Each structure stands twice: as C-alpha cells, then as structure tokens.
Amino acid sequence: MAYLVNPQNTVAILQKYNFRFQKKFGQNFLIDSHVLDKIIREADIGPEDFVLEIGPGIGTMTQYLCEHAGHVAAVEIDKNLIPILTETLAGYPNAEIIHVDVLKLDIAELARQKNGGRSIKVVANLPYYITTPIIMGLFESRAPIRSVTVMVQKEVAERMRAKPGGKEYGALSLAVQYYAQPEIVANVPPNCFMPRPAVASSVIRLARYASPPVDTEDERLMFAVIRASFNQRRKTLANGVSHAAGLPFSKEQVQQALKQLGLLADIRGEKLSLMQFAALSNQLKNSLTE
Ligand code: SAM
C-alpha cells in the first residue's frame, strides 16, 4: 500500500474518488511524514495499545497508527470518506472504521466493548471547529483514557497549557489541567497540510492524571465558578460569580469566601490557580450550609 502522506498519493486517491473538501468538517489532511513520525513517537504507541483516532480523513495517520498499535478505531463523520478509508486501510486488519459524529459517541462504552474496559489512547489531527467540545467530552466521558495526543490550533494549545496571570489563561486551561498534564510537543506550519489551514498548529500531549491534582467537594460547582469567573474578563471574580445564572451566591458571600482564602475581594479570575479555584468552590459550598 502506498503511503498517503506522500502528497502525490493523496492527490491520486482524492481524484480517484472525486473527493471535495468540506470546510464545515475542518478537513486539512496531513502530508508531512516527519510530523506523523513525531506524533506516533510522542503518543508512545506500541503493539499493546488500543488507539481511538478522531477524524481519520483519507487514512493518512491511520496507516501509521496501524503499523504501531494493536488496534485502531477510526471515527469519521464524513460519509464520502468511508469508501476511501475502506480502500486505503484494506491492508490493515487491525483498523476499524466507525462512521459516526464523535460528539455523539459513547467513548466509555467503546472502550468497554472493544477493549474490555482497559485504557485507550486518543490520537488525532482534530477538526479545529470542535476542538474544545471534543477534548472536554473525552475527559468528562469518564472513559479510561491514558493520554490524548492531538493536533490543534497553536493558539488553543497555548491556552490549554497556560498558567495563571497571562492572557491565554482561562476556563479551558483549568479544565484541561484538572484532568491532565499538558505538553506541547511540536509546532506545525500550514504547509504540512492539504489544503493549508489559515492558522499555525501544534501537537499537544495531555497525559491523564490517575486522580485530579486538587481536592474539590463538588466538581460541577467548581467548573461553574470557573466559567462564571471568566465570563466577562473585565469584571472582578466576585461580580462574575454573583451575576452568573444558576449560581446562588451574593457578591458579599463571594468576597467573604475570597477573604477567608487570603485573596483580595476585587481579584480577577485570571489570577487564581486551579488549587485556589478548588478551595474557593469548597468555601462557597460550605457557606450555603452555614
Ligand atoms: N486525520 C486526517 C489527517 O491528519 O490527514 C484528517 C484530519 S482533518 C483535520 C479532521 C477530520 O475530522 C476530517 O476527516 C473530518 O471529516 C473529521 N471530522 C470532522 N468533524 C467530525 C466529527 N464531529 N466526528 C468525527 N470526525 C469528524
């Protein structure tokens, strides 16, 4: 089988099937073998691994994954790609093509059914229009995911690994860092894709924690407080949280909780670490029962 990462082979298969790129599906196919080698290496894929690939496209990365992994489940939404994948992956008995919208897929159930509930690794060149819902869906699914190694927009990768204080830091940084340790492992320019995306890309590896690095009595409350704190960046945290629909705290209650943690009453969300958000939400929860 000819590797698709060779641009001539990609063009040949696209022409054979008269394939039209669909912008709405975020279709930018990889055509650089160095990037693929790097992704496989950083994801640490071996014969014992079950890999979930989100959005295989024509199967460029899937071929590489199949050569290293025990099993690859490739989940693709675009029905026009299914016959192409059937051809390009024909030589790989360990490849499984699943035609479904990944946002509608029960990933915990997939791991249970296809891998006996053992942990899986996620590897993908993600469709950028739904990066955040995919990443959050993976972690919130409670599926046994060991790691997530994905190509994303460079700016989004920076946000995922941002620390308190900077302008990139926000709800996405905190959510990702609650579940995993992020590391940017490669920066990838637009000319590594066909067609070229308008933005620069990065590969980020999210190594899942066995248990979250902070203690929170109520995870949902903590994330609601985090979202409210970043809703309007120019507002103070106390204003954001006290005005959030669905949160029952007055401005005074929030200011009091901040004070008890040794924080300023007019502090902004971007100054608080994950540990401080966990402590704040615990404090607020207790204030409801006082
Ligand atoms: N993995 C291929 C590669 O690297 O060449 C293609 C990557 S392309 C950036 C993103 C892929 O995700 C496309 O094949 C697109 O059709 C698919 N996709 C988009 N939305 C999806 C969804 N909701 N569920 C599953 N696949 C999706």
Ligand 1: nearest atom to the Cα of 22: 16
Does pTM top 0.85 for this prediction? yes
Residue type, 2: A
For residue 106, how far is its CA from the centre of ligand 1 (angstroms)?
A: 18
> Cβ(69)–Cβ(87) under 8 Å?
no
CA of 53 to the centre of ligand 1 (A): 9
Specify the ligand 1 atom closest to the Cα of 53: 1
pLDDT of residue 6: 86
Residues of the chain with pLDDT under 70: 1-2, 290
| pLDDT tens-digit series, residues 237-279 | 999 999 999 999 999 999 999 999 999 999 999 999 999 999 9
Return the residue matching tokens 């696209």. Answer: 14
- Whole-number Å distance, alpha carbon 125 to ligand 1 midpoint, is 7
> How far is residue 226 from each of residues 90, 135, 284, measured CA to CA in Å?
46, 17, 13
Contact indicator for 69, 94 with CB cutoff of 8 Å: yes
> How far does the centroid of ligand 1 lie from the alpha carbon of residue 149, in Å?
15
**pLDDT confidence of residue 1:** 52
**60 CA: nearest ligand 1 atom:** 5
pLDDT value, residue 290: 66
Burial letters 53-91, b for 16+ CB under 10 A, else e: bbbbbbbbbbbbbbebbebbbbbbbbeebeebbeebbee
Cα separation, 98 vs 150, whole angstroms: 19
Task: Please report where in the chains the tokens 């959050």 appear, as a residue.
Answer: 136
Q: What is the pLDDT, as a whole number, of residue 181?
A: 98
CA-closest residue to ligand 1 atom 22: 101
User: How many CA atoms within 13 Å lie on the side-chain side of 230?
Assistant: 22
Instruction: Ligand 1: list residues with CB < 6 Å.
Output: 25-30, 54-57, 60-61, 75-78, 81, 101-103, 125, 127, 130
